[in-house]
DNA sequence: GTGAAAGCGCTAACAC
DNA sequence: GTGTTAGCGCTTTCAC
């Protein structure tokens, strides 16, 4: 009567609504199928989007995600590291609050904890690090506008510093991507993406359509947008290099009685992680922050060795009934 | 030689960077000191803020937080419930995707899982539920403006439906809070808060300053704000009933060449969970979403019985050395 | 295939 | 106090 026992066990299991205990499994396998994340502040648009990216791939693999906030303070980051290690997470994604040498992280790595860093490197920590792909994401965004047929695309970007620098930059970028992009501030990187998209289409860039806002405020952006929209011929689309630029630009668009997307298209590289798009023929969004999170998670899982895949079902035994362990919640 | 053994154990423990294994502890105590959260989408401003509130109190108690996204779909909510139960979380905070009878949640509760619901009740589930305190939060916000000395405070709110309803509502709210507020849509609840604040100060409300936008769009709000700002005398402060209203209002303010807070004060009940404040003498923010998360977490922890407090330190024994179990990561 | 036994790192209960 | 023991629910190994 071999099959009979099996059925009896199965019957009891389903009747009791049995759910396997991953905690117990983790004790013996040494893997919890849970990763830990130390974010600065979940409620900030940046981290919210990054976390979503992480959770996309983590949940996709059937793993869990333990999240903590550091509020960008070292104390809380140390406490979070401790909490997560005690919880035996299989890996750690950290958005470090400081680039200085961090003993708590170094020690975790030394102890064999797989780790990926977000947005910042930490001195002396040789682990995978991901940061926003400003150039590529901007290039993708502007490419969408060009593919939709736009030929006069304005860019509203901070681009602090003097006129000459902009001229030099445009000259340097005329035929190939300028060097040392990683060292530039974000708005310059995003301008580089804008230029690259045009180059890929074999299009000349009209310098008049490159609006250096010179100041990181919505009001300054508003003025820049006003200048852009009075050019002749008027740009048919705008690319805003960040969320604040976009707010100011929208104000101008409204004030002029224009409507997006009927009168002009607009794409914004924004902190909410929507390439707030807009315009006919433009159907996708880039989500650079979310992609950043996904990249970090993928790197981490690769290092953890997710190749092993999902664990197999647990093997039920008659003794589990005798010992009354077929229950999920105690 | 009793003390000697203890020291030897302690020495080995610190040398190896020993960290207790909460997973093993959880196996025997039956409590993991981790709660599970099922959010709709972490990256939305609403959930991001709510989650931060939850994490505030959860981390404050030294617990962990396992987060999942349901994307407001039943399938994913069911899967998330399963994942979290398998991980033996001590409690569940769910933002249910559907008010319809949900067997997976009902079953979890039946199995003894402590649960708190966010923003929506589920039919047949008798568990604590928290929702945004629209009336109270708006009242607080407007009170701040009144306390700062403002006597002409405009409100920009959707308030869909006809003129008569607004008149009736104002009449009904003249001397006491109108009844059945819970059944009203959010913008009406926020108007009620606005009125309550005025009542508490013994101030008459000028109906001219109540702008019913009639349409949930930034453009409609922009027009309403234009009307508000041309009233004579001009309002010295504005209360925007939601984030979109605020975007439209800001556009008008910019277009008129006004500046916040030098020319007028403004508070916005916004989705980013900042009562975006603004103006001299106004120094605090209300954070209704974050407070919602905190409330949910506190209710849940009370139900879990966090009164028991943090567990004591683990007791180290010589056998742990013999068996080589004094290590944190394997 | 099916059953039994050992043991993951800890706690609780009981010895001394 | 300090030391030992059993056992939480599972996986692994080995026996049948």
Residues B186, B207: Cα–Cα separation, whole Å: 19
Which residue did the predictor score with more confidence, A50 or B314? A50
Q: Please report the pLDDT score of residue A49 as a whole number.
A: 92
Which residue did the predictor score with more confidence, B322 or A170? A170
The closest nt to B3, taking CA to C1', is D2
Q: Smallest Cα–Cα separation from A34: which of B122, B172, B83, B45?
A: B83
Q: Which residues of B169-206 are buried (b: 16+ CB within 10 A; e: fewer)?
A: beeebeeeebeeeeebebbbbbbbbbbbbbbeeeeebe
Residues B247, A11: Cα–Cα separation, whole Å: 59
Q: Which residues of B90-105 are buried (b: 16+ CB within 10 A; e: fewer)?
A: bbbbbbbbeeeebebb
B30 touches strand C (CB under 7 A): no
Residues B173, B198: Cα–Cα separation, whole Å: 11
Q: Please report the pLDDT score of residue B62 as a whole number.
A: 93
Yes or no: say if A39 and A119 are a contact pair by the CB < 8 Å rule.
Answer: no
Does B329 contact A68 at a Cβ distance shorter than 8 Å? Answer: no
pLDDT along chain B (330 residues), means of 10: 60 76 89 96 91 96 96 95 95 93 93 92 90 88 94 95 89 90 87 97 96 85 94 95 84 81 86 67 74 94 73 67 55
**CA angle (A25 as vertex; A24, A29 as ends), nearest 5:** 125
Q: For tokens 């056998």, what's the residue? A: B319
Sheet with A153-157: strands ordered across:
A210-212, A153-157, A237-240, A265-269, A275-276
Cα separations in angstroms, A124 against A82, A105, A110, A323, B101:
20, 10, 12, 51, 54
Residues A102, A285: Cα–Cα separation, whole Å: 36
Whether omega for the bond prior to residue A261 falls within 30 degrees of 0, making it cis, is: yes
Eight-class DSSP state of B62: T
Distance from CA of B45 to the nearest CA of A (A): 7
Residues B252, B228: Cα–Cα separation, whole Å: 10
pTM score of the predicted model? 0.81
Q: Among A18, A20, A23, pick the best mutation site for testing chain B contact (most B Cβ within 10 A).
A: A23
B62: left (phi > 0), else alpha (psi -120 to 50), else beta? Answer: left
Residues B148, A304: Cα–Cα separation, whole Å: 56
Residues A62, B87: Cα–Cα separation, whole Å: 12
Lookup: tokens for A47: 């981290």
Q: Please report the pLDDT score of residue B295 as a whole number.
A: 94
B234 touches strand C (CB under 7 A): no
Write out pLDDT tens, residues A89-106. 999 999 999 888 899 999
A28 touches strand C (CB under 7 A): yes
Kindly give the pairing relationship between strand B265-269 and strand B275-276: antiparallel
Residues B71, B63: Cα–Cα separation, whole Å: 25
Write out pLDDT tens, residues A62-87. 999 999 999 999 999 999 999 999 99
Tally: H helices and E strands in chain B: 12, 10
Max mean pLDDT range (A120-129, A154-163, B183-192, B291-300): B291-300
Structural domains for chain A: 20-132+289-316 (3.40.50.2300), 134-286 (3.40.50.2300)
Residues B75, A130: Cα–Cα separation, whole Å: 32
Q: Among B17, B64, B77, pick the best mutation site for testing chain A contact (most A Cβ within 10 A).
A: B64
Q: Which helix (H) or strand (E) holds B239?
A: strand B237-240
Yes or no: say if B36 and B66 are a contact pair by the CB < 8 Å rule.
Answer: yes
Cα separations in angstroms, A231 against A83, A224, B27:
57, 11, 69
Helix (H, G, I), strand (E, B), or coil: what is residue B233? coil
Residues A53, B212: Cα–Cα separation, whole Å: 38
Q: What DSSP assignment string belongs to B259-321? A: -TTTT-EEEEE-TTS-EE--STT------HHHHHHHHHHHHHHHHHTGGG-SPPPPPP-HHHH
**CA angle (B206 as vertex; B200, B207 as ends), nearest 5:** 115
User: How many percent of chain A have pLDDT more than 70?
Assistant: 88
Q: Please report the pLDDT score of residue B321 as a whole number.
A: 67
Residue A283 pLDDT class (50, 70, 90 cuts) = low
**CA angle (A59 as vertex; A58, A62 as ends), nearest 5:** 100
Helix (H, G, I), strand (E, B), or coil: what is residue A271? coil
Dihedral Cα A180, A185, A186, A187, nearest 10 deg: -100
Residue B35: phi and psi, rounded to 5, are -110, 160
Name the residue of chain A whose CA is nearest to B84's CA. A64
Which residue did the predictor score with more confidence, B55 or A319? B55
Contacts of A65 in chain B (CB under 8 A): 66-68
Q: Of the candidates A69, A111, A329, which has its C-beta nearest B111's C-beta?
A: A329
B310 touches strand C (CB under 7 A): no
Q: Smallest Cα–Cα separation from A173: which of A163, A165, A161?
A: A165
CA torsion through residues B99, A16, A66, B26, sign = positive
Burial zone of A196 (CB within 10 Å; 0-12 exposed, 13-18 middle, 19+ buried): buried
Residue A323 pLDDT class (50, 70, 90 cuts) = low
Q: Please report the pLDDT score of residue A253 as a whole number.
A: 86
């Amino acid at each position: 009567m071999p099959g009979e026992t099996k059925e009896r066990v199965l019957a009891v299991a389903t009747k009791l609504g049995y759910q396997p205990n991953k905690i117990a499994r983790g004790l013996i396998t040494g893997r919890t199928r849970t990763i830990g994340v130390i974010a600065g502040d979940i409620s900030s648009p940046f981290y919210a989007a990054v976390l979503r990216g992480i959770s996309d791939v983590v949940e996709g693999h059937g793993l869990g995600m333990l999240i903590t906030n550091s509020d960008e303070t070292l104390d809380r980051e140390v406490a979070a590291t401790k909490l997560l290690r005690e919880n035996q997470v299989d890996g750690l994604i950290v958005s470090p609050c400081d680039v200085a040498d961090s003993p708590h992280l170094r020690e975790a790595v030394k102890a064999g904890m797989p780790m990926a860093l977000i947005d910042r490197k930490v001195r002396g920590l040789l682990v995978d690090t991901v940061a926003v792909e400003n150039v590529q994401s901007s290039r993708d965004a502007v490419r969408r506008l060009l593919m939709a047929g736009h030929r006069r695309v304005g860019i509203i970007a901070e681009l602090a510093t003097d006129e000459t620098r902009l001229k030099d930059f445009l000259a340097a970028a005329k035929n190939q991507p300028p060097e040392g992009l990683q060292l530039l501030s974000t708005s310059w990187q995003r301008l580089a993406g804008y230029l690259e998209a045009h180059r890929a289409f074999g299009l000349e860039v009209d310098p008049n359509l490159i609006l250096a806002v010179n100041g990181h405020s919505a009001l300054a952006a508003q003025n820049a947008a006003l200048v852009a929209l009075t050019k002749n011929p008027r740009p048919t689309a705008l690319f805003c290099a960040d969320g604040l630029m976009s707010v100011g630009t929208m104000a101008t668009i409204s004030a002029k009685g224009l409507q997006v997307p009927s009168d002009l298209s607009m794409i914004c590289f924004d902190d909410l992680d929507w390439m707030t798009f807009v315009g006919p023929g433009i159907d996708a969004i880039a989500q650079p922050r979310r992609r950043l999170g996904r990249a970090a998670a993928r790197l981490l899982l690769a290092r953890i060795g997710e190749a092993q895949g999902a664990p197999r079902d647990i093997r039920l035994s008659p003794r589990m009934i005798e010992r009354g362990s077929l229950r999920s919640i105690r």
